[in-house]
Amino acid sequence: MGRVSGRACLVTGAAQGIGRAIAEALLEEGADVCFADINGEKAAHVAAENAERASTGGGKVMSAKVDVTQRNEVRDMIARAADAFGRIDVKFNNAGVNRPMNFLDVTEENWRFIMDVNGLGVLIGMQEAARQMIAQGGGGKIVNTASIASRQGFDNVAPYCASKWAVVSLTQSGARDLARHDITVTGFAPGVVATEMWEEVDRDLMAIGASERPGQAMEEFSSEILKGRVATPADITGTTTFLASRDSDYMTGQIVMIDGGMTLV
């Protein structure tokens, strides 16, 4: 029996990277899982690839195309998942974006793009998941993806850091507001995880002259990790499955750092 057997979970940003790993780990431990992403085709493909994992774990798998900044799409995705699974027990607000720019060059467009997905997208995701959980009764769990950038401001990624600090405050505010409905809100903060996001960040940092060769930015940025290496998505999922499970029922309003000891806060 897995830690999340029979629990209905929804993960955004699940077409790749950390979100995909979170969703697959949940399936492995018996959950029903909806892989949701703005790239609906890729999410559907990944969900189909996971049919066997689902049948071994004993859960159901589905996918949804969603832009987390669009409330109507989020609502529709939650309704469809609740319909397929009978309810929603756990909602992961994981979709996120970054687009590095030097501090003085940050534009309103850059700020709004990042804050929209990482900030507003998390707010809408929390609200709509909570509405479903309140309507169905019995509480629930909301888990947000924060970052080391939620704890320190880093150069060349100011809007990203601001958006990830917002995730911390939304987690705290949501925890306070939703406790009366027995809904917990937690978050986890990865450090440097080898995903496509970092490949893009690496390219963007070269494009703005902040690094000279592929891989340099990641090497320099992560040189102080006490564990001596960057993370893989698999390093994150022990904690995320715990946050989705009943083992974390007495936790709310907290962010768990999973950064190999990069930021000691």
Residues serving a catalytic function are 160, 164
Distance CA 221, CA 100 (A): 14
Distance CA 167, CA 230 (A): 22
Site for ligand NAD contains 187 (CB under 6 A): no
Question: In the chain, what's the furthest Cα-to-Cα distance?
Answer: 54
**Binding segment for ligand NAD among 75-83, 151-159, 196-204, 244-252 (CB under 6 A)?**
196-204
Of the pair 30, 167, the CB lying nearest ligand NAD is at 167
Starting from the edge strand earliest in sequence, which strands make up the sheet with 183-190, in order?
Answer: 61-65, 32-37, 8-12, 90-93, 140-145, 183-190, 255-258
- In angstroms, what is the minimal distance from the CB of 253 to ligand NAD? 19
* Minimum distance, C-beta of residue 182 to ligand NAD, in the bound complex (Å): 26
Strand partners, 62: 34
On whether the CB atoms of residues 78 and 128 are closer than 8 A, the answer is yes
At 112, which amino acid appears?
R
Which of residues 54, 62, 66, 126 is near ligand NAD by CB under 6 A? 66
Residue 17 lies near ligand NAD (rule: CB under 6 A): yes
Binding residue for ligand NAD (CB under 6 A) from 69, 184, 248, 252?
Answer: 69
H runs (alpha helix) in 196-251: 196-207, 216-221, 234-244
3-state secondary structure (DSSP) of residue 231: strand
Contact between 38 and ligand NAD by CB under 6 A: the answer reads yes
Q: How many CA atoms lie within 13 A of 93 on its CB side?
A: 33
Q: Does 2 interact with ligand NAD (rule: CB under 6 A)?
A: no
Half-sphere exposure of 54 (CA within 13 A, CB side): 19
Of 11, 78, 101, 192, the one binding ligand NAD (CB under 6 A) is 192
Q: Is 158 in the site for ligand NAD (CB under 6 A)?
A: no
260 interacts with ligand NAD by CB under 6 A: no
Question: Would you say 68 and 121 are in contact if contact means Cβ atoms under 8 Å apart?
Answer: yes
Characterise 96 by phi-psi region: left (phi > 0), alpha (psi -120 to 50), beta (else): beta
CB of 250 to ligand NAD, least distance (A): 25
N residues, the chain: 265
Nearer to ligand NAD, 53 or 65 (CB): 65
- 59 is a contact residue toward ligand NAD (CB under 6 A): no
State the minimum distance, in angstroms, from the CB of residue 158 to ligand NAD: 14
| Site for ligand NAD contains 263 (CB under 6 A) | no
- Residue 15 makes contact with ligand NAD by CB under 6 A: yes
Binding site for ligand NAD (CB under 6 A): 12-13, 15-19, 37-39, 66-69, 94-97, 117, 121, 145, 147, 190, 192-193, 195-198
